[in-house]
Structure formats: structure tokens, C-alpha cells
């Protein structure tokens, strides 16, 4: 899975309706350009592609009084909302995701009901444990990584990574079950986007042709 689709759909959904530069600004505010492939070109390409696929509805609006080409504002469709939640749920339960996909999923987890988020994270823990067990069919941690030559360090890394992932996931489950954070239908959600006129302290300042459309 690519994180860019989840990130862009999530950003547009937060706004209700947003032009491409707003989406780019949000993703830079979240630091996504540092931990994912959410660069300006890929963001604008994703917006156009998902509009063609019916996941977003593109509204052409009048140009600003300062002139320039008409801007396009995007709004998530019913199909886009279904795809957003499909991607989010898949990212939360799948252990062998890229780091950017996992990061994006955690950023949007409160869009789900609390009970569902917990259930998905418990499924994630189960899958980690199953994967770890499959590694242990060929590798015995107690015998040390040297039992398989330097290749054993690979399996040693896998086991340590699985243990760390499982520990982190269980901790997140415990915090959520303990009442942490505001989930869907529980009240005012966390606002993770900038107001339209607010300055973005994390903006790269790099110009891109898509900024004006």
C-alpha cells in the first residue's frame, strides 16, 4: 500500500473541501514530506488520479482577484470515504507495512470508533505473534544469532522488531481502552489541520507548478 492515497484522502476529508495547495500544506504541517513519499508532485498527481477514479470530486472555482488560473477544490465522495476507511483499517492490522503507511494510519486512527480501533489493533498484535512464530520455526533465539552464521543476524533483527512492534501495539491498546484521545462520535475531534490563513512553521517553501491549480 502507498501512504500517499491514505494521506491525501484523510486530509481532504478533514477539510470537507480543499484545494491542492491546502492538502500539500497539511501534509507538510504533519511532517509527511520527511517520513513518506508525500512530495508536492506526488500529492497533486494523487489528487488528479483519485478525482478520475471517482474517489474525489473536483470543483473548479473562479480565479482569485489577484489573477491567475482557476483553482480546483477537491471534496471526498462516498466511494472515496469507503476507500479511505478500507485503507485505514488495512494499514492498522497489517504488520509488514512500510513505516510511512503505519505512521499515517496512527495519525488517522481516531476517525474510527474506539471499540473498532481496539479490535483492529488486537488483530495486528495477533498477526505479529503469528509471524514471529513462523520465524521461530527456523531460528531459536536462545541459541544466539551465530547459530546460522551472520545470516542469523537477520532473523535476530526480525524477532526483535516483532517484539518491539507487539509491545508498542499493546501499549497503544491499553491507552485507548483506558480512555485516551477522542474517537469518532465521542465529541469534538482533534483538529490536525491549519486554518486557511495560518502560517505553517514546517512548510518547505519550495515552489511547485501545482501550487497554483
Q: What is the pLDDT of residues 68-109, one digit of tens each?
A: 566 789 999 999 999 999 999 999 999 877 788 999 999 999
Instruction: Looking at the structure, tell me whether residues 46 and 99 fall in a common domain.
Output: yes
Instruction: Looking at the structure, tell me whether residues 94 and 197 fall in a common domain.
Output: yes
pLDDT digits (tens, 9 = 90+) for 116-138: 999 999 999 999 999 989 888 87
- What are the strands, taking DSSP E only, across the chain? 18-19, 56-61, 71-76, 147-150
Mean pLDDT of 147-161: 81
pLDDT digits (tens, 9 = 90+) for 10-50: 999 988 888 888 888 888 888 887 778 778 888 899 999 99
> Domain range holding 178?
114-182
Judge whether 81 and 54 are in contact, CB under 8 Å: no
- pLDDT computed for residue 105 by the predictor: 93
Cell of 55: 474517489
- Claim: this prediction has a pTM higher than 0.85: no
Instruction: Looking at the structure, tell me whether residues 119 and 206 fall in a common domain.
Output: no
Q: Is 57 helix (H, G, I), strand (E, B) or coil?
A: strand
Instruction: Looking at the structure, tell me whether residues 169 and 201 fall in a common domain.
Output: no
- pLDDT computed for residue 202 by the predictor: 47
Asked whether the predicted pLDDT for residue 177 surpasses 90, the reply is: yes
Judge whether 139 and 148 are in contact, CB under 8 Å: yes
Instruction: Looking at the structure, tell me whether residues 83 and 46 fall in a common domain.
Output: yes
Give me the CATH number covering residue 31.
1.10.10.10
Amino acid at each position: 500500500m502507498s501512504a500517499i492515497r491514505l494521506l491525501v484522502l484523510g486530509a481532504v476529508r478533514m477539510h470537507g473541501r480543499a484545494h491542492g495547495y491546502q492538502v500539500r500544506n497539511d501534509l507538510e504541517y504533519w511532517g509527511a514530506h520527511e517520513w513518506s513519499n508525500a512530495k508536492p508532485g506526488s500529492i497533486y498527481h494523487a489528487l488528479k488520479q483519485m478525482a478520475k477514479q471517482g474517489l474525489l470530486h473536483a470543483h473548479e472555482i473562479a480565479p482569485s482577484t489577484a489573477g491567475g488560473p482557476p483553482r480546483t477544490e477537491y471534496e471526498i465522495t462516498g466511494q472515496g470515504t469507503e476507500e479511505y476507511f478500507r485503507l485505514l483499517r488495512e494499514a492498522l492490522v497489517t504488520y509488514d507495512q512500510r513505516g510511512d503507511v503505519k505512521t499515517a494510519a496512527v495519525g488517522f486512527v481516531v476517525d474510527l470508533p474506539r471499540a473498532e480501533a481496539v479490535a483492529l489493533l488486537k488483530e495486528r498484535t495477533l498477526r505479529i505473534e503469528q509471524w514471529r512464530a513462523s520465524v521461530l520455526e527456523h531460528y531459536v533465539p536462545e541459541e544466539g544469532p551465530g547459530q546460522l552464521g551472520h545470516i542469523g543476524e537477520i532473523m535476530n533483527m526480525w524477532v526483535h522488531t516483532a517484539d518491539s512492534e507487539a509491545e508498542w501495539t499493546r501499549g497503544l491498546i491499553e491507552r485507548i481502552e483506558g480512555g485516551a484521545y477522542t474517537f469518532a462520535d465521542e465529541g469534538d475531534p482533534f483538529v490536525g489541520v491549519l486554518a486557511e490563513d495560518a502560517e505553517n512553521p514546517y512548510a518547505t517553501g519550495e515552489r511547485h507548478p501545482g501550487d497554483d491549480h
